Amino acid sequence: MISFRYHIVTIVAVFLALALGLLGGSTFVQPALQRELERRTDSYREQLSELRTQIADLSTRSDGMAGFADSALPYLTNDRLLGARAVVVAHDGVEGSVVDETQRSLADAGADVVATITAQPSIASIDPDDQAQLAEIVGLAPGTEVGVDDVADALAERLSAPRVSPSDAEGDVLANLLSAGYLTASDGTPLEDVGGPAQVIVVLGGGPLEQPTLDPAGFGPALVGSLADRGLDVAAGESSITPTDVSFVEAVRDTVGDNVVTIDDLDLSMGGAALVLGIDQLRRTNVGGSYGLDDGAEPLPSLP
């Protein structure tokens, strides 16, 4: 019969053997592990150096292609919109590069940009005082809840109507939205030159902030849809960099589709060219399209 003492001795011997094994094994394993880690680190450093070289090469090529595009694209768009009148409506916070590229591209194509208007965050306000004032401006009964769709529809109606004379400004939706601060425009914008069924409207949304001051899927897409419903030539654009989960252009594409022109890289000269060529196509054929860098978008419209 195996005694209890034997069990104790056996258990102690097993633990002692394990301890000696771990101690002896670490003497050989640890240096080997260290060498392997050092080898991998050196390999990763070499790969990182190669990637940095590739990035520098790609950046140089990209700069060269951008320079070529800046020089060549104006020849594709020259006089495409000669004599057209255009109005730009931008969300508050849209990048200056997007606004500048839009204005430059339209002007280089021969269009007359008669006004650049900015929609302020208060245009979507639910504050009772703002709601009361907005209801009065857009012609709704007092106490009516005013949504961005209501304001967008009223503004679209104003922009689609024949131009007004200065004497009619008192009841003018655009003039009242401007005077109340829901919209802003550069000083001296002649309201009598804004609007009309033959005018091109470009709506810009998005911005560099993760939480923009105006919902990218709110006022802007509603305005684009209302303008398109009235048969106007409409384009919607934003920067190629959109930090928000839902982009403005994506929202327009989902709700309005190819009844309008959409540009998702309007901070680039390629986007400016797509804007002009897309508007030209829309005016000739009543067919819009999706252009830019996003999946499913074409870089440029087909040349006639």
Decide if pLDDT at 230 tops 90.
Answer: yes
Q: pLDDT, tens digit, for every residue of 206-224?
A: 888 888 889 999 999 999 9
Contact predicate 204/167, CB 8 Å: no
Least confident stretch, 118-127, 165-174, 189-198, 276-285:
165-174
Q: pTM here?
A: 0.78
Residue 62: C-alpha distances to residues 66, 76, 102, 298 (Å): 6, 20, 22, 19
Which strands make up the sheet holding 289-291, listed edge to edge?
183-185, 112-119, 85-91, 200-204, 233-237, 261-263, 289-291
Position 1 scores a pLDDT of 45
